[in-house]
């Protein structure tokens, strides 16, 4: 492993949606970025290509976030290629929707594995391996407070993410590592649009006082603030990035 003064960020779920925007923004801010992906290597490599075309440094790395060996290998790859890890932005997650009464428990178990276990596994490696002065940013969801029907399983996992994040911030006392969670509201991604008719989309877009859906770039800006020098006094917090919807 070569030592490097370049700040290095791992972005899980970095091949699309909010994670893709986070990876691009952190690269623009000078980070060498490891674009973590679950299955779409082609999309992750597109992100890497865009970053490199813009003059940045990036690599893609596959990892099932629920698999501790795969996540360990992800951190290994970051250290081997770029010299260490300073920031982890954990954006990987899934969002199957159903009422509590009708939720398939096999689907729920996979949801828990990805969103809760995956966050715990990534947080565990971050706690063990981040360089002092780093930052951990998890992604929650404003739906934990909005309480939309059919989001019960998803919101339950994101409540767990929030609890874990705030506790980890306190456990890392003495290392100058900040740990925060960003909770987007309705955001214009493929994951959000999936299964929604236009009336539902329009209704959700009209709810915030700013009267629009969020964009992945809106969320990436908040993450970049927390990852950068201006965000160093924000620690152990949940930040709702939702245009004022709640």
Please list the active-site residues: 154
- CA proximity to 88, closest of 112, 61, 53, 49: 61
Per residue, the 3-state secondary structure of the chain, as one string, reads CCCCCCCEEEEECCCCHHHHHHHHHHHHCCCEEEEEECCCHHHHHHHHHHHHHCCCCEEEEECCCCCHHHHHHHHHHHHHHHCCCCEEEECCCCCCCCCCCCCCHHHHHHHHHHHHHHHHHHHHHHHHHCCCCCEEEEECCCHHHHCCCCCHHHHHHHHHHHHHHHHHHHHCCCCCCEEEEEEECCECCHHHHCCCCHHHHHHHHHCCCCCCCECHHHHHHHHHHHHCHHHCCCCCCEEEECCCCC
Cα(232)–Cα(32) distance, integer angstroms: 19
- Phi and psi, residue 34, nearest 5°: -100, 115
């Amino acid at each position: 492993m070569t030592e490097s003064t370049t700040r290095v960020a791992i972005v899980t779920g970095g091949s699309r949606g909010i994670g893709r925007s986070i990876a691009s923004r952190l690269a623009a801010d000078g980070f060498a970025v490891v674009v973590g992906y679950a299955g779409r290597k082609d999309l992750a490599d597109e992100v890497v290509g865009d970053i490199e075309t813009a003059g940045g440094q990036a690599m893609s790395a596959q990892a099932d976030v629920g698999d501790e060996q795969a996540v360990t290998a992800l951190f290994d790859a970051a250290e081997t290629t770029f010299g260490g890890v300073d920031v982890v932005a954990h954006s990987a997650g899934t969002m199957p929707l159903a009422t509590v009464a009708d939720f398939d428990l096999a689907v729920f178990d996979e949801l828990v594995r990805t969103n809760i276990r995956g966050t715990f596994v990534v947080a565990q490696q971050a706690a063990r391996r981040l360089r002092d002065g780093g930052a951990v940013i998890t992604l929650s969801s404003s739906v934990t407070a909005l309480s939309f029907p059919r989001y019960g399983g998803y919101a339950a996992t994101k409540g767990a993410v929030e609890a874990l994040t705030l506790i980890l911030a306190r456990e890392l006392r003495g290392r100058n590592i900040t740990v925060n969670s960003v909770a987007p509201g309705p955001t214009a991604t493929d994951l959000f649009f999936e299964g929604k008719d236009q009336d539902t989309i329009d209704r959700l877009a009209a709810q915030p006082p700013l009267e629009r859906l969020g964009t992945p770039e809106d969320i990436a800006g908040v993450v970049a603030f927390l990852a950068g020098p201006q965000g160093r006094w924000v620690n152990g917090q949940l930040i709702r990035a939702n245009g004022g919807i709640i």
